[in-house]
Amino acid sequence: MAEVLLKIDGIVKRFGGLVALNQVGLTINKGEIYGLIGPNGAGKTTLFNVLTGLYMPDEGSFTFDGTNLFRAQPHVVVGTGIARTFQNIRLFKEMTALENVMVGRHIRSKAGALGAVLRDKGTRAEEAAIRAKAQELLAYVGISDVADEFAKNLSYGHQRRLEIARALATEPKLLALDEPAAGMNPRETEELKALMEKIRASGITVLLIEHDVKLMMGLCDRIAVLDYGKKIAEGVPEVVRKDPKVIEAYLGVAHS
């Protein structure tokens, strides 16, 4: 039996009169790559924002690894083990690649603000460990050669990898990636696919939003399809791709 990592039920998110998420429920099992697809405006990013504490859902339930995260704040969500990247890359542009990852790592460090000011022996040792771990993560995502470059000077593909390294620095159980292949060329997309498979093989569960349906079909263990805020299908890729409701949503047939 698959072990459930994340479970939401009956999630509703409204923006004024617009119901962006309408009674959405899904479960993500430990160790799977779970994809979220759907036409523009279907509610994918809104769901990500709910799952990472950026948006407070209006109704429903949300548990993660046995912890109730319904309406939890983002830092609580990260602390419980969910890390994410953003559709629009959000790096600290004036910091180096290495520093960006070190920031992500600080959430797991023990030395508090006082330690950082006093810079005592314990804090210095911890800083060195954080630096070493950050270097390791840059190597892991394949960009250690640009460790000392400012984030703003990195190529698009490298920036996306850096975001993933920074998210991994928080030691997540679930890594949520919002359109990581957007703007990538076919070679970069292939490399990204290999990276995601490597991440999953290391024991981290992956949740993915992507418009590249071909990539999703070849990568995901299971896929959920959102349309107008509702989950219209969920299952293994071969079944989802043949589902008439999914075909209709993608072909843009008028809704009754």
- Which residues contact ligand ATP (rule: CB under 6 A)? 15, 18, 20, 38, 40-46
CA 50 remoteness from chain centre: 12
The sheet that has 222-227: what strands, in order across it? 82-84, 174-178, 205-209, 33-37, 222-227, 230-235
CB 140 within 8 A of CB 152: no
Q: How far is the CB of 169 from ligand ATP (least distance, A)?
A: 25
- Name the CA radius of gyration of the chain, rounded: 19
Tokens of 89: 């890359």
Angle (deg, nearest 10), helices 156-168 and 121-140? 130
Among residues 26 and 165, whose Cβ is nearest to ligand ATP?
26
What is the nearest approach in angstroms of ligand ATP to the Cβ of residue 11?
A: 12
Nearer to ligand ATP, 81 or 229 (CB): 229
Query: What's the closest the beta carbon of residue 238 comes to ligand ATP, in angstroms?
Result: 23
Nearer to ligand ATP by Cβ, of 20 and 146: the residue is 20
- At its nearest, how many Å lie between ligand ATP and the CB of residue 228? 9
Closest to ligand ATP by CB, 41 vs 142, is 41
What is the smallest separation between the CB atom of 43 and ligand ATP, expressed in angstroms? 4
Please state the length of the chain: 256
Angle (CA) 104-91-225 rounded to 5° is 90
- Whether 146 and 155 have beta carbons less than 8 Å apart is answered as no
Closest CB to ligand ATP among 20 and 199? 20
- Minimum CB distance to ligand ATP, residue 137 (Å): 27
User: CB of 123: closest distance to ligand ATP in angstroms?
Assistant: 39
Residue closer to ligand ATP (CB basis): 24 or 97 = 24
DSSP 175: E
Greatest extent of the chain over all pairs of C-alpha atoms, in Å: 67
Q: Name 177's Cβ contacts closer than 8 Å, sequence gap at least 6.
A: 84, 85, 164, 196, 206, 207, 208, 209
Q: Which is nearer to ligand ATP, 154 or 216 (CB)?
A: 216
Owner of token pair 């479970």: 7
